[in-house]
Amino acid sequence: MKFQITARKPRNPLVAAARLRVAGAHGPSASASRLQARRSLQRELGDLRDADRRRPSP
């Protein structure tokens, strides 16, 4: 009894290169960067307001 092995379909050589690279978005969008900056500014302003409230008045 002989076994017959069929050859597999050849693979696309470009797919292996693409999968090894880090593909995808390069960084946050401009709107996401603005939103992050706004949130950090509001957080810092809130910290300053809280520090003023904790300080006793003269």
pLDDT tens for the chain, residues 1 to 58: 788 888 888 888 888 877 787 656 678 889 999 999 999 999 999 999 988 887 776 6
Residue identified by tokens 């090894």 is 20
Would you say the C-alpha torsion 46, 48, 49, 51 has a positive or negative sign? positive
DSSP category for residue 44? H
Distance CA 12, CA 28 (A): 31
Distance CA 40, CA 48 (A): 12
Look up residue 31 and give its two tokens: 């709107």
Residue identified by tokens 């957080």 is 43
What's the pLDDT at 31?
95
